[in-house]
Chain A
């Protein structure tokens, strides 16, 4: 009876297309919004993710997330180095100077000061120039998106200058640092130099980056550092999640996305569920005839499930295709780079849509099962 079920389904073209559209539309919205939401949340920890040379982040207990830090004392670095199991520990500072170009463009930027000796704390990849050249006086590495922002329409090249707090600095490299939460340019400089660019005397050590000795897990090291120094120590992954949780709890972003996602969910459930249900109700007479002819209840359930799963599958595939196309286009754009269709969303929405079509078909199945087959004799 599969054939009959599918023909019944496609026979009513308007409803069939309506169902597919409703499911495709809500699939697209759900996948799109959840992926963008996850991508934005992920950006809150971009600069943490970029540091691959150290697994443990040490900070003042008052520091809750990456953007807002309470400075550590210089002695804290030595105390961390003194904790057994620490292979090495280096300092990192983070500040938000305003960078200006000679043409007068300017933008607030994220400035990261990395360890003078080892340059630990800088992302590995560089597009132009080299990290080593940070050792030259008055030098910075700028990320590509920041470059495009500050020097719009100009080709990528090193040697240009920026001015920060009356200091003229030269760009010696262009990095592809992960997109930060607020789309500010990312500047890397040596720790000691970065401080002078900011015109500050006082030490501004924001973090200590540490790496455990072989055989010690980062998690274990965070425990040891905390016990020994009273400072807050987090593994890279924990700290990224701290940032995500901070934004989830302290901004309107989750609510905003939550509304869109709920609407998409509601449309998915209500429109496709109801359209499918109406489809069955309008076909009750046909189901009644099939019942009289001797199609078993199992056969009828099979037909309805097949119809529901078919529209569900086609709609979901279309919606996912649309979402994939969307991200294919936008993940290559500078402003939205790194925001991708996450497989978790694709799987999650698949399960959700499965739930929607099964829920819709259960109502339909109920209607058909209680249908009195003798009703076929009555007009």
Chain B
């Protein structure tokens, strides 16, 4: 079942990327064609070192591809100036990292409010919106906790709130459950699929944790710098 490409939120065509030069050069992306639809949870899976992180970095505009193009919501990101790209990212992207990357000096609410603060929202309003979201994610008791006082699962939930707080149209998550035990990873994944998925938002999750595959709407399999095949899941399959 192929949906019209017009609803693809993310489209990559023939992406190439290498690191290093000469003998030491590694060809990491070897012609990647990939897309992710709004309203869906798209998994990107594959063995370690196959280029998943590199791919989402390119999609998010954190790395420039050597060739090929990235289109986000109809916008060719290569056409944006570096400054415009930063603003585009600020407005449209949310990130969840494997290592959470919370700011250790800020409370949970403040951490979750950072994208709003970066966009110039007033402090009080930003923190209020972040709190509301943390409450939804089950952290009502830890709003003023510092990251070091939080468990890994709690930290990842704060990171999730930070990715969601400014209501971006694309969320990229790199191995969000890799640092968590199974049960905690499972609950973070529940929250991710429950709160991040939105009709106008695409969510890309890099993982090689097959225990959470059932949350995916589609699974792109990657190996050695290429997408090898795409599994489309029906809503019925997804439920199980």
Chain A residues near B (Cβ < 8 Å) = 1, 3-4, 7-8, 10-12, 285-286, 288-290, 292-297, 299, 372-374, 376-379
Contact = CB atoms under 8 A, between A and B. Distances in A.
B51 to A, nearest CB: 12
Given A292-B95, A372-B63, A377-B97, 14 more contacts: A3-B110, A7-B110, A11-B104, A11-B105, A293-B90, A293-B95, A294-B89, A299-B118, A372-B62, A376-B62, A376-B95, A377-B56, A377-B62, A377-B174
A294 B56 CA distance: 16
Interface residues of B, number: 31
A1 B117 contact: yes
Nearest to A295: B118
Nearest to B102: A289
Contacts of B67: none
13 contacts: A7-B103, A10-B105, A286-B103, A292-B62, A293-B115, A295-B86, A373-B62, A374-B57, A374-B63, A376-B95, A377-B98, A378-B53, A379-B99
B87 interface: yes
Nearest to B111: A4
B118 A290 contact: yes
A376 B106 CA distance: 18
B222 interface: no
Nearest to A9: B105
Interface of A is mostly: helix
Contacts of A373: 62
B171 interface: no
B101 A289 contact: yes
Nearest to B118: A295
A297 B85 CA distance: 12
A378 B62 CA distance: 13
Contact of A4 (B57, B95, B106, B119): B106
Residue among A289, A294, A297, A379 with most chain B CB within 10 A:
A294
A290 B62 contact: no
Contacts, number: 84
A374 B60 CA distance: 9
Contacts of B91: 294
Contacts of B183: none
Given A12-B105, A377-B57, A377-B174, A294 B87 contact: yes
Nearest to A294: B90
Contacts of B162: 293
B93 interface: yes
B118 A285 contact: no
The 10 closest A-B pairs by CB, nearest first: A11-B105, A294-B90, A374-B62, A374-B57, A289-B101, A294-B89, A7-B105, A373-B62, A374-B63, A295-B118
Contacts of A374: 57, 62-63
A7 B106 contact: yes
Nearest to B61: A373
A379 B118 contact: no
Contacts of A372: 62-63
A296 B110 contact: no
A78 to B, nearest CB: 81
A114 to B, nearest CB: 69
Given A3-B123, A378-B53, A293 B114 contact: yes
Interface in B159-178: 162, 174
A3 B105 CA distance: 11
A11 B103 CA distance: 10
Contacts of A8: 103, 105
A221 to B, nearest CB: 66
A131 B109 CA distance: 77
Interface string B35-68: 0000000000000000001001100101100000
B54 to A, nearest CB: 8
A1 to B, nearest CB: 6
A252 to B, nearest CB: 49
Given A374-B62, A377-B174, A3 B87 contact: no
Contact of A376 (B97, B103, B110): B97
Contacts of B174: 377
Contacts of B97: 289, 376-377
Contacts of A293: 89-90, 95, 114-115, 118, 162
Given A289-B103, A294-B91, A378-B53, A4 B114 contact: yes
A186 B53 CA distance: 83
B3 interface: no
A294 B83 CA distance: 10
B89 A292 contact: yes
